[in-house]
Chains A and B, each alone.
Chain A
């Protein structure tokens, strides 16, 4: 069964027809040709498909497109205008926080989401004091970024990159 929906992706509105089984990830990649979010597992286990959905980091492989009619989506490619980079992207470059690049757009979107969660004072599993504002420590960042697998294992560069971008804001 098909359905017609509207998605606003990286600032641009798209009217498209999707199979009601189509994931948000496949809608972006196979219907709209936006391959910035990646498919690594299709089961919400690797984080490569992470985008910002109405501002929050979201796994698009676990979301059905038809359930997100009218959504505002920002992929890693939409974080900054062409020729410019978002501070998180710049920090990833500076820290060499990737190798093959396949998990990277998901890591970048996740990091942008993480920084917003710090801003809102959200605690994590490793937050000691649930009444205060969490500090952007190594352990806090590493914990929050652990839904994004990196098989090249750039983790020891990713965490400082996120901290750098957080400090730079």
Chain B
């Protein structure tokens, strides 16, 4: 048990502290850093999916007036570490995927840099590539572990025996598409090497964590931490793609090293982001459920097939939520990968849980239909008393409350389908889940300065609200008015902080701030002097290992399908979540509705159309990679239950950045099925999948 803070500032509906800058457009993002006399870099990308660069003719590019540098794999400096193959930019002639970085041009203007990059003539020794995922490939392999250190396979009991003996069984295959994070701010860096001494590098980089970013750059360039500063006060969205640096950051630093003393700006184009900034792997999920006639599960199993890049392995932990979501004596989960000549997949909002709650939550709806049981009731009947995977009691598990309260608010009772003129109307439900995580490393300073309290921590605000809520936490930990607290984040000059990822930012940084604030009060009492300062580490905060901490939720969807055209509309989306204590209801609601809307987008719109013949995403821009727009959304409501969890951290918070996208797509599919009778098991739900079955 941790000592929960008394909420005074926490829980207040405070307007964003960075709001005025953002509505004026004066918050400075990485590319926008005002620097003296910048130069502009533009990458050269491979136009084959596999092979070797045999020559690069840079003469025409270098002949252009105003071109300052052209770097290729044949002349770029050797990096200190090439251990991470993604970061080993321009270190060799091999091409592992189409779009890989093979050069960079630096010039006086961005127009010129782009023209010069186009003027570089590249010769290749092209090899046949292999870029098509399927579940029956003979070369699928089991990775050593999957993302976040989870086991690749788990098994308990005997799924096959349970399937053979069960009154009702369900075996289905589901798939999710390839998705690209596509934050509105393209990945961008302004890089500056000081010419004097051993070199000092400043990166104004768009990142979800200045400290992890710096650590990666230091390793690649063989620098000490003291030689690198990373600054990022504002991030134009990331959704995981800026959680780890990608190759563009190393290319920007490499390009700037060619021009010491000159700041160099490099922003990926939207098109380049589709091969260089990570993406969510497509997944193929084979589900098995076994149950008795009352719906009690005797087996649940998920076998996942997905892809990774031959250049670098990333294994999405899609099977993980099935391990703990419902009670069942027999359970199995497996992950198999195809290593292909494709760009490198990475984190995208709720890796694992987001795709991994699609198959299972549609399968539960299918089982409910088969049994003639209400899908909420089916979930209630399979509610586990303890975490089935670890055997530990839950820190708090309020899935049933979320389902019940959601049903009440949404108006779930009664028939799930009706016809309204030309429109077939249906409702659907699915569960959400996300683990409550806290990272091992983060330090905060609290200082009394000019009559105000100042907290410093190298954290990040991607729009999540950290600028606003970290002062709320600090104020309560100090026992002062939130108006008397300033928090400084987004710079490696402030103490080390973990990545804004895994919905762990508030839990981690907040814990460090609470330790620092309490230390400050212990040392200096209620009447500090100017300059008094204390620091605190997250590892000094109490940690409960005896409970299983998760956030849960329930999402409800009304879908309308036009009986003639198959057009799909979602006029209502409603979620109820158990996410611990909400620090700021305004920013929390925005995160939850944002996640739910991105889930709606996944259900109906998003699909990176992969062309295996050339090895690239065919629809690699925002005109053709559709994301939900304003006119696509109707009423979207996010609610939360009053949840008191004394086991997670001093704030009682669970993290809210990701749970909103978990389960949404399944709820949409289930609603469309109720409306039309068509079960779409392969995302996205598009009208061509409905038309032939409409009345």
Most buried by B among A41, A76, A100, A104: A100
Tell me if B631 is interfacial: C-beta within 8 Å of chain A: yes
Partner of A153, one of B24, B236, B586, B594: B594
Contact mask B423-440 → A, CB, 8 Å, 1/0?
000000000000000000
Which one of B594, B621, B622, B636 lies within 8 Å of A152 (CB-CB)?
B594
CB distance B25 to A100 under 8 Å?
no
Taking the nearest CB of chain A, how far is it from the CB of B492, in angstroms?
21
User: A53-86 interface mask toward B, CB cutoff 8 Å, 1 = contact, 0 = none?
Assistant: 0000000000000000000000111011000010
Q: Report the stretch among A28-36, A115-123, A127-135 that lies at the interface.
A: A28-36
Tell me whether A4 is interfacial, beta carbon within 8 Å.
no
Q: Of residues 111 to 169 in A, which have CB atoms within 8 Å of B's CB atoms?
A: 126, 139, 142-143, 145-146, 148-159
Q: Which residues of B contact A102 (CB under 8 A)?
A: 29, 183-185, 236-237
Task: Judge whether B629 is part of the interface by a CB distance below 8 angstroms.
Answer: yes
CB–CB A155/B236 < 8 A:
no
Q: Are B236 and A100 in contact (CB under 8 A)?
A: yes
Contact size range, B: 35 or more
A residues less than 8 Å from B586 (CB atoms) = 96
Bound form: Cα–Cα A20–B544 in Å: 63
Question: Are A156 and B593 touching (Cβ within 8 A)?
Answer: yes
Contact B27 A30 (CB under 8 A): no
Q: What's the Cα separation between A45 and B622 when bound, in Å?
A: 6
* Contacting residue for B462 out of A33, A75, A92, A100, CB 8 A: A100
Q: Provide the residues of chain B in CB contact with A46, threshold 8 Å.
A: 184, 270, 622
Considering only residues 256-277 of chain B, those with a C-beta below 8 Å from chain A are: 267, 269-270
Assembled-state Cα–Cα distance A25/B478 (Å):
46
Chain B residues whose C-beta falls within 8 Å of the C-beta of A21 in the assembled complex: 111
Contact A22-B184, Cβ < 8 Å, known A35-B25, A45-B621, A149-B622 = no
Residue pair B622, A40 in contact (C-beta under 8 Å): yes
Closest to A140 in B: B631
Interface 0/1 of B595-616, CB less than 8 Å to A = 1111001000000000000000
Given contacts A75-B25, A104-B25, A156-B633, contact A151 B270 (CB under 8 A): no
Main secondary structure of the interface of A (DSSP, over half): loop
Q: How far is the CA of A159 from the CA of B635 in the complex (A)?
A: 11
Q: Is the CB of A40 within 8 A of B184?
A: yes
Q: How far is the CB of B312 from chain A (nearest CB, A)?
A: 25
Q: Give chain B residues whose Cβ lies under 8 Å from the Cβ of A148.
A: 630
The distance in angstroms between the C-alpha atoms of A65 and B23, with both chains bound, is 25
Are A30 and B110 interface neighbours, CB within 8 A? yes
- Whether A99 and B23, one on each chain, are in contact in the complex, defined by CB atoms closer than 8 angstroms, is no
* Most chain B CB atoms below 10 A, which of A29, A38, A102: A102
Q: Is the CB of A19 within 8 A of B111?
A: yes
Query: What's the least CB distance linking A127 to chain B, in Å?
Result: 13
* B313 interface hit (Cβ, 8 Å): no
* Contact flag A41-B621 (CB < 8 Å), given A93-B15, A142-B631, A152-B594: yes
In the complex the two chains form, what is the Cα distance from A85 to B22 in whole Å?
11
Q: How far is the CB of A163 from chain B (nearest CB, A)?
A: 12
Q: Are B184 and A38 in contact (CB under 8 A)?
A: yes
Closest B residue to A29 by CB, please name it: B32
Q: Could you say which residues of chain B place their CB within 8 Å of the CB of A15?
A: none
What residues on B are CB-neighbors of A76 within 8 Å? 23-25
B residues touching A (Cβ–Cβ < 8 Å)? 15-16, 18-29, 31-32, 34, 40, 109-112, 182-186, 234-237, 239, 267, 269-270, 462-465, 586-587, 589-591, 593-598, 601, 621-623, 627-633, 635-636
* Given A39-B267, A145-B631, A150-B184, 4 extra CB contacts under 8 A: A30-B109, A41-B622, A99-B594, A100-B184
